[in-house]
Amino acid sequence: MPTVVGITLVVFVGVRLLPGDVVQQMLGEYGAASRELRERLLREYALDLTLLQQYIRWATGVVRGDLGTSIVSGRPVIDDIRQRLPVTFQLGVMALLIAWVLALPVGVISAVYRDTLVDYLLRAIAIGLLALPTFWMALLIIAYGFLFFGWTPPLRYYSLQEDPVRNLQTMAVPAFVLGTHLSAVVMRLLRSTMLEVLRQDYVRTARGKGLWELSMVVRHALPNALIPVVTVIALQIPLVVGGTVIMERIFALPGMGNYLLSTVQQRDYPVVQAITLLSAVTVVLSNFGVDLLYGAIDPWLRYSER
């Protein structure tokens, strides 16, 4: 809770220090001639209060489940978030799944075949994925996809319930770009931890007893090597949140990231605060979930804590 409260305080003050006036932006060219309307809008959105009073009022509403009303659209913020959250959630989950599906076999193979041509090739791919920015990869796929194959990203978004096939066609490319970038970190870390585990005495004993190599790697070495790697899941959640903003902007997806960018430009304080709050809670809960996941991977951790 202190982490979440601290993040919301920083964002609450930060968005109000941005240059520009949201009320003046709403009034447009009539702002100078309509003082009464300006004062009414300030009172309506509680912008005439001090920063501390505004924060307490907003935090009290959050506790009651009220995230406020959008200054620009006039709609409840929770309604707009409810429409856009599934898009960002699906993109993030797909990216994480792609990252781990690619990273686990690559990291294990690279460690098992250490210092061979396969290892050098896989390590070069991982370093290349780390070096390439996601936005550059996305723009490159769009440009060369149109140039060589006449392909362009779908211009209309379909929800998973409305049309699953078109939904996956729309989400596949941004999820793949974001997932491959995230997988590079897991590849490198898993290779290092696997090399440490493969040097352990129990692994040499298993080999000396004639245990099948694949069984030894998958059943004995991999679970122990995954314990440090699982921590990366929590560290990648903020990267996923930030990456979805870029991917949604490039591929015109109606998600939370695209919504956040537009509301920041419009100085829509309640929306920015609500999205930041959800992001902070997501990161905090993901870190807590990873701590619980340690015990599921290695039962000895559960026993040692008792």
Residue ranges making up the domain that contains 41: 2-63
Q: Is this structure's pTM higher than 0.75? A: yes
Of the residues 30, 63, 96, the one at which a domain ends: 63
Q: How far apart are CA 258 and CA 246, in angstroms?
A: 8
Do 6 and 128 lie in a common domain? Answer: no
| Cβ contact 88:243 at 8 Å | no
User: What is the pLDDT, as a whole number, of residue 117?
Assistant: 92
Q: How far apart are CA 77 and CA 64, in angstroms?
A: 14
Do 42 and 95 lie in a common domain? Answer: no
Residue 15 CA, chain-centre distance (Å), reads 21
Q: Which residues fall within 8 angstroms of residue 125, CB to CB, at 6 or more apart?
A: 106
Report the largest interatomic distance among the alpha carbons of the chain, rounded to a whole angstrom. 89
CATH of residue 157's domain is: 1.10.3720.10
Do 179 and 212 lie in a common domain? Answer: yes
From first to last of its 306 residues, what are the pLDDT tens digits of the chain? 788 788 888 888 887 777 766 666 666 655 555 677 777 777 777 777 788 888 888 888 888 888 888 877 778 888 888 888 888 888 888 998 998 898 888 888 888 888 889 989 999 998 888 888 888 888 888 888 878 887 777 777 888 888 888 888 888 888 999 889 888 888 888 888 888 888 877 777 777 777 777 777 777 777 778 777 777 777 777 778 777 888 888 888 888 888 888 887 777 888 888 888 888 888 888 878 777 776 666 666 554 555
Tokens 């968005």 -> residue: 15
User: What is the pLDDT, as a whole number, of residue 301?
Assistant: 57
Q: How far apart are CA 180 and CA 94, in angstroms?
A: 11
Look at the chain and report how many structural domains it folds into. 2
Do 248 and 198 lie in a common domain? Answer: yes
In a domain, residue 106? The reply is yes
Q: How far apart are CA 195 and CA 204, in angstroms?
A: 13
Provide the token pair at 276.
């930041």
Query: What's the 3-state SS for 235-278?
Result: HHHHHHHHHHHHHHHHCCCCCHHHHHHHHHHCCCHHHHHHHHHH
Do 228 and 256 lie in a common domain? Answer: yes
Amino acid in the structure at residue 174: P
User: What is the pLDDT, as a whole number, of residue 27?
Assistant: 67
In a domain, residue 69? The reply is no
User: What is the pLDDT, as a whole number, of residue 26?
Assistant: 66
Do 254 and 163 lie in a common domain? Answer: yes
Do 176 and 285 lie in a common domain? Answer: yes
